[in-house]
Amino acid sequence: MIGSLLYLTTSRPDILFSVCLCARFQACPKESHLHAVKRIFKYLAYTPSLGLWSPRNSSFDLHTYSDADFGGYKVDRKSTSGTCQFLGNMLISWFSKKQNSVALSTTEAEYIATGSCCAQILWMKQQLHDYGFKFEKVPIRCDNTSVICLGKNPVHHSRTKHIDIRYHFIKDHIEKGDIELVFVPTKEQVADIFTKPLDEQTFSKFRMELGISEIE
């Protein structure tokens, strides 16, 4: 069941967080996990016509969203990173992943997510460059002002080793003009849908902003 759902996330990113969360319990599943998976199938049964829509007249600017849910996974208190990349209004890449280490602050969790997002952007820039498209200062939109300050001002940096590596990595590419960190209010942070459960209204709003709509 999980394998089928993971395959489906390639066209239904709105279920990515739920599926990835359930996948963590594949080794030793309980009946409660089975009920959770069945709820995902029930949601899909009620929304069979939803799919990713790529409008023809969309612009071709590359921009991204990055977010993290600090300590949201209650089993080991590790945070969950979520990012998504757009070309204009077209969603072209997304992921939701539990972080490898326990973050000691919201800033640390968000910064790890931003580092992963930066690496994805650099790969995408290289791929698009092969087709003749060049992008400078690709915006990474995050809702944590401390992360933005950390990328610009070394005085704010006093973290552990795994943060230190990402700090120099992000700062280096900011100085090169490859990326820039841009603040976005939490209520407009689309990547939230990949990091934690949301209420129905917020979920529907972000689902629509991802470009998921009725396809006949």
Per-residue pLDDT at 155 exceeds 60: no
Residue 71 has a CB neighbour count (10 Å cut-off) of 17
The confidence score (pLDDT) of residue 17 equals 94
Q: How confident is the model at residue 184 (pLDDT cuts 50, 70, 90)?
A: very high
Please give the helix or strand (H or E) that residue 25 lies within, else none: none
Helices marked H in the chain: 2-8, 16-23, 31-46, 106-129, 145-152, 161-176, 200-209
Is residue 83 within 8 Å of residue 94, measured between CB atoms? yes
CA 214 to chain centre: 23
Q: Are 51 and 212 in contact (CB under 8 A)?
A: yes
pLDDT confidence bin for 164, thresholds 50/70/90? low
Cβ atoms 92, 53 nearer than 8 A: no
C-alpha 215, offset from chain centre: 24
Task: Flag the least confident range among 100-104, 177-181, 190-194.
Answer: 100-104
**pLDDT for the residue 31:** 92
Percent of the chain with pLDDT over 90: 60
Q: What is the C-alpha end-to-end distance of the chain, expressed in Å?
A: 26
Give the predicted TM-score (pTM) of the model: 0.90
Q: Is the per-residue pLDDT at 216 higher than 80?
A: no
Q: What is the pLDDT of residues 80-133, one digit of tens each?
A: 999 999 998 899 999 999 988 888 888 888 988 999 999 999 999 999 999 888
Query: Does 159 have pLDDT greater than 70?
Result: no
Residues making up the chain, counted from first to last = 216
Supply the mean pLDDT for the chain: 88
- All CATH 3.30.420.10 domain ranges of the chain, comma separated, are 62-190
Per-residue model confidence (pLDDT) at position 215? 81
**Average pLDDT for 9-15:** 92
What's the pLDDT at 56?
A: 82
The reported pLDDT for the residue numbered 138 is 94
Cα separation, 190 vs 205, in Å, equals 9
Per-residue pLDDT tens digits for 16-65: 999 999 998 888 888 999 999 999 999 999 999 998 988 888 888 999 99
| Fold category of 62-190 in CATH | Nucleotidyltransferase; domain 5 (3.30.420)
Rounded to 5°, the CA angle 176-112-130 comes to 45
| Local structure of residue 49 (DSSP, 8 states) | T
**Alpha-carbon distance 49 to 45, whole Å?**
9
- Residue 156 pLDDT: 55
